[in-house]
Structure 1
Amino acid sequence: MRPGPQLSKRTKPIAKRFRKDERAAAVSGFGRTRPPEQNGSADMTTTSASHRERGWWRDETFLDDLRRHARDTPRKTAVIARRQSDGRTHRLDYERLAAMADRCASALVELGLRPGDVFAAQLTDRWELAALTLGCIRAGVVYCPLMKTYRRRELDVMLRVTEARVLVTMAEDNGDRLGELGAEFAAELPSLERVFVADGPGPEGTGEFESFFFGTAWEERHGHLLDERELGPDDPYLVLFTSGTTSDPKGVLHSQNTLYAAVRGEAETFGLDETLVMYTTALYTHYTGVVQGMLMPLALGGTMAFQDAKDPADALDFMAAHGVAFFYCAPFYLLSLIKEQRAAPRALPALTWLVSGSAPIPPYFIDETRSVFGLRLYSLWGMTENGPVTITRPDDPEDWAAHSDGSPIADMRLRIDPVSDRSGGEGVLWVKGPTQCLGYYRRDELYAADLDEDGWFDTGDLARPDGRGGIRITGRAKDMILRNANIAPVTDLESIIGRHPGVRDVAVIGLPDEHEDETICAVVAPAPAAPPVTLDELHRALDGAGMTKAYWPRRLELVESFPTTATGKIRKEELRRRYGRTGHRPG
């Protein structure tokens, strides 16, 4: 049995403490690290040295991985990317990927971006994302990928907080004219100097993404400058926004080393090597897509495979065509994949690993996965702040993914602070270790509020020990809702809905749903003498406020009054029990 999470030393009357997982299997593709540099504060130096000593941090970068593979296996396929719009599949070998990364980096230099400046990109999943992801490292620029679902309300905050100097966006997405929105931001924000538009002509004053970044050999003009500009392994590199429970999104800041630790930890767990062909249906501007989808196969010398089509039939066809070995998706998507594969079976001889996370896995998923794909299912838990933290293992019981969210990887440490009214050791989950982010970009006070005096990070989740050295997530200590693996801005939703003249009070809750992480439900107490508010009216109010459509409630419940605590706070847990429903097995 593996050691697992420790209970808080503040637990009364007895504090039971478990040691962290100590696995350290060697994995092909992860070489020896050089001695640590001694700089920065004493605490940071000690932490850095410890992580380096154990191999979770290193003095190399993902560009070193790229250069090594371009030298040793230049013709090996590094990227397979399919676009639904034209049906074309693009392939880049390692030599070509290295060249395109240099071209992107040189384009950023041409635009006048200085080391440490922020470059933002809101694009659908496409091969150019791989070049941009690496090109920013090469140019010494902080990369801020923005999910294509974001709209004015979120984008305004994100671009203001980062003071991004260049934005790449799409002409249109789902009927929304993002190119025009980008041009509006350029006129409103002094820091945003240039906007480029992909997949169609943009408004006056914007540039064409494809031709500027890839149609000119900028490396011939600026390539000699890149070696001195490259980001180091501990430099701030990646800003990924998460909505959190407050109105303003938070930019989670990572270095290459905080990402590398997660990459190595996951690779070691499954024994992955250079034969990896990795695919996930998560967006490749999300942590999962950037780090697990692109950087993990890159570090190993494998192949990153992705497409912008998200239909389960397209996903299965893609896996069959390109020999995908490792596939990750959320449980609600796995259900649709199971149904599609049962209806029209594809031969998937290379598929070896099926991993799911972001929501609990129902027990029958285990049997369905085995029956339909002939594989066992693994579960994973993590956050944008720290990536994958726990994973179920090959030596766990066959159905363990239905009972556990796994044990810690990459020297991550877990602590559970028991809650007085919970049983079975359940409590608030805290984490600490080498995959933890550097902080929230320009929001130091928000990040500090989530840390204790010893540097442990409050995840906001409730968990209990699983009996095998891991954890089972049981709920949330913080008020948050997961929507397609993203955190919905609950406070913002309630504020907008609460301003509707037909609403006296509102509580926004998440309800279990097998077809998505959670269904967002607005529970409304109508205003006196006002006609009953409708879901369409709420949608119009949210649309007018610029709220991203993915976060609009899909369900409305009307109540005369809310259950409240003694202090008048709405008891959302009671509302979740009242309106929650159980799922059904796939047919």
Structure 2
Amino acid sequence: MKFDAILMEPRRARMEAEGHWRGMTLLDYFEEKLAANPDRITLSAYTVADGACRNFTYRELDRLSDLAAVGLHRLGLGKDDVLSSQLPNGWEFVVLYLACRKLGVVFNPVMPIFREHELLFMLKHGEAKALVVPKLFRNFDHEAMADGMRPQLPDLKHVIVMGSGTENDFERLLLDPSFADEPDIERLTTEHRGDGNDVCQLIYTSGTTGEPKGVMHTANTMYSNLVPYGERLHLSADTQLLMASPMAHQTGFMYGLLLPVQLGARMILMDVWDKTLAAKLIAEEKISFTMASTPFLMDLTNAVEELGTDSSSLKIFLCAGTAIPGSLVERAGKVLGTRIISAWGMTENGAVTVVAPEDDPERSINTDGFVLPGMELQIRGTDGKPVPVGHEGELYVRGCSNFVGYLRRPEWNNTDAEGWFDTGDIARMDDRGYIRICGRSKDIIIRGAENIPVIEVESLLYKHPAIQQVAIVGYPDERLGERACAFVVPRPDKSFDFAEMTRFLKELHLAQQYFPERLEIRDKLPATASGKIQKFALRNLLKAEFEARAS
């Protein structure tokens, strides 16, 4: 695979000269900690279904990832090949990524919620050579889905299944103890690692283009974000870091895996979110930091209040993905005894703005933080020029943690000659440099920090024989920030209802999180003179309804 990382070279010299791109990779940080304290427990992986936990030291992770690297090599994977992983949070995910970096294999995490519709595009576009899945996860047979897709994926040579117990089993193919006897193991796990400017992650994000975009990152782009992020929040090797957000999402990947390795902190992983277990783990493991979206914060606050567990060790809950209701910040701070921190970022650049722990709590209610070192912000008006303080405009960012391009879609990079990336968000900045995200110029809905690819879902619904017109818009929700509502105009003499919509989207194998959660049938939709649907009018209608209920 050849990666067209065209956004790297124009800024490389400057980023290195200014000290933002230090050339340190995950393995550099990992081997530092391994040499200093090989028998320190660095990973605790919990499975919610049975409450079981497995602990791993640096030495154990190093040994297991060596075995996995040998296993992948014997399957024919090498430098710049793409491996896709649909694994949930767990020790297998961590071992697999370490093994990929030892071989120079590019890691493509994909969300466990994805089904054939999303996966066929991603695996084909990324030319994935191997796919790693759980046999069953949340009662869904991922192995059967993967096997069913193989005829349509000519580049996919191997499906590796966690828990299959058969010849394609994860442990059989990747963790055979005899692999330790590989005579060339040291050369094999060091020769093709690459450096901080090699593409090491390919991660897909939903947007407005009608197809997912393959975001390419290097160790330099990700760690130039993580180092100042940890410094802003005063995180250290003593931090006990809980991660329940999926590691197949950038939040879980960067801040649940890469960050603790860089800090030398202990990562405590949950394979699925469970508020009761999370509350107990905070008490028992003395968790001091976690990062998740608003629904997680709300759930955890309720659990601690109901159970009466001790959450005094939790110094910071960083909440990102959508604005945090002021009432929740106040209640969570009181119940949990923790500092609620707001932030803003994207898959393309990590967390760009973060509130500092020493800031007044109102900063997390009314702002999304101020920019991290190495990044710059600019808010532009419709004329393309910067707007005055306090005025809304389109948010542009540039700097060290910006991605290095969309795979095979350079025309979508949204980055100008001076390196400014158009985020698609509308924001304003106050006189202290704090920003507030006010909306989105791109047609996307964020449901509990998960992007809903509106155009894609609309395109699928237009295939239904009963639908003449459809428009999907977001509507306010106290817990998730937004939910999706489909406004549908049926064809003459045709009927359509919510059950049929759900059945149809399931038949097309769309991830269930992308299904509209509400359906409104209309005779016509508001439109301009040229016939373009006025989605703002539909949003305003739903917003007014929400506000009327709340008053």
Partner in structure 2 of residue 242 of structure 1:
205
- Structure 1 unaligned runs (5+)? 1-39
Partner in structure 2 of residue 93 of structure 1:
57
Distance 2:429 2:245 in 1: 28
User: In 2 relative to 1, CA 162–216 (structure 1 residues): closer, same or farther, beyond 3 Å?
Assistant: farther
Q: Which moved more, 1:252-261 or 1:464-473?
A: 464-473
User: In 2 relative to 1, CA 465–41 (structure 1 residues): closer, same or farther, beyond 3 Å?
Assistant: closer
| Residue pair 1:463, 1:473 contacting (<8 A) in 2 also | yes
User: In 2 relative to 1, CA 42–460 (structure 1 residues): closer, same or farther, beyond 3 Å?
Assistant: closer
Q: Does 1:558 align with 2:528?
A: no
Partner in structure 2 of residue 363 of structure 1:
326
| Residue pair 1:273, 1:301 contacting (<8 A) in 2 also | yes
Partner in structure 1 of residue 257 of structure 2:
294
User: In 2 relative to 1, CA 251–51 (structure 1 residues): closer, same or farther, beyond 3 Å?
Assistant: same
Q: Which amino acid aligns with 1:166?
A: A
- 2:309 aligned to which of 320, 334, 346: 346
Partner in structure 2 of residue 14 of structure 1:
none
Distance 1:44 1:196 in 2: 33
**1:496-544 Cα deviation digits (max 9, x unpaired):** 212223222110111121222421111112222223x111101111111
**1:132-180 Cα deviation digits (max 9, x unpaired):** 1221111110001111000000000011011111111122334432101
| Residue pair 2:251, 2:292 contacting (<8 A) in 1 also | no
Matches within 5 A, 1:14-29: none
Secondary structure at the aligned position of 2:56 is classed as: strand
Partner in structure 2 of residue 194 of structure 1:
158
Partner in structure 2 of residue 434 of structure 1:
400
Partner in structure 2 of residue 12 of structure 1:
none
Distance 1:80 1:355 in 2: 21
| Residue pair 1:141, 1:231 contacting (<8 A) in 2 also | no
Matches within 5 A, 1:53-452: 53-201=17-165, 207-221=168-182, 222-419=185-382, 424-447=390-413, 450-452=414-416
Q: Percent identity?
A: 33
- 1:456 aligned to which of 414, 420, 424: 420
**1:378-414 Cα deviation digits (max 9, x unpaired):** 1010000001000011332221111100101131111
| Residue pair 1:333, 1:516 contacting (<8 A) in 2 also | no
CA drift at 1:474: 0.1
Distance 2:332 2:66 in 1: 42
Q: Which amino acid aligns with 1:216?
A: P
User: In 2 relative to 1, CA 584–91 (structure 1 residues): closer, same or farther, beyond 3 Å?
Assistant: farther
Secondary structure at the aligned position of 2:352 is classed as: strand
Q: Does 1:499 align with 2:463?
A: yes
Q: Which amino acid aligns with 1:307?
A: M
Q: Which amino acid aligns with 1:315?
A: A
CA drift at 1:214: 1.7
User: In 2 relative to 1, CA 525–41 (structure 1 residues): closer, same or farther, beyond 3 Å?
Assistant: closer
TM-score of the superposition, structure 2-length normalised? 0.93
| Residue pair 1:355, 1:380 contacting (<8 A) in 2 also | yes
Secondary structure at the aligned position of 1:561 is classed as: coil
Secondary structure at the aligned position of 1:337 is classed as: helix
Q: Which amino acid aligns with 1:372?
A: V
Partner in structure 1 of residue 536 of structure 2:
573
CA drift at 1:210: 2.3
Secondary structure at the aligned position of 2:379 is classed as: strand
Q: Which amino acid aligns with 1:95?
A: R
| Residue pair 1:171, 1:201 contacting (<8 A) in 2 also | no
CA drift at 1:184: 2.2
**1:203-224 Cα deviation digits (max 9, x unpaired):** xxx6011222123342431333
User: In 2 relative to 1, CA 245–578 (structure 1 residues): closer, same or farther, beyond 3 Å?
Assistant: same
CA drift at 1:363: 1.2
Distance 2:201 2:252 in 1: 13
User: In 2 relative to 1, CA 398–530 (structure 1 residues): closer, same or farther, beyond 3 Å?
Assistant: same
Distance 1:49 1:70 in 2: 31
Secondary structure at the aligned position of 1:437 is classed as: coil
CA drift at 1:422: 12
CA drift at 1:582: 4.2
Alpha carbon RMSD of aligned pairs, Å?
Answer: 2.3
Distance 1:151 1:49 in 2: 41
CA drift at 1:331: 1.0
Distance 1:520 1:444 in 2: 30
Secondary structure at the aligned position of 1:414 is classed as: strand
CA drift at 1:579: 1.2
Distance 1:86 1:501 in 2: 45
**1:395-447 Cα deviation digits (max 9, x unpaired):** 32221111100101131111111248999410110110111011112222222
Matches within 5 A, 1:33-52: 47-52=11-16
| Residue pair 2:375, 2:399 contacting (<8 A) in 1 also | yes
TM-score of the superposition, structure 1-length normalised? 0.88
| Residue pair 2:160, 2:170 contacting (<8 A) in 1 also | yes
User: In 2 relative to 1, CA 564–318 (structure 1 residues): closer, same or farther, beyond 3 Å?
Assistant: same
User: In 2 relative to 1, CA 584–562 (structure 1 residues): closer, same or farther, beyond 3 Å?
Assistant: closer
Secondary structure at the aligned position of 2:161 is classed as: strand
Secondary structure at the aligned position of 2:140 is classed as: coil
| Residue pair 1:386, 1:437 contacting (<8 A) in 2 also | yes
Q: Which amino acid aligns with 2:163?
A: D
Distance 2:447 2:225 in 1: 23
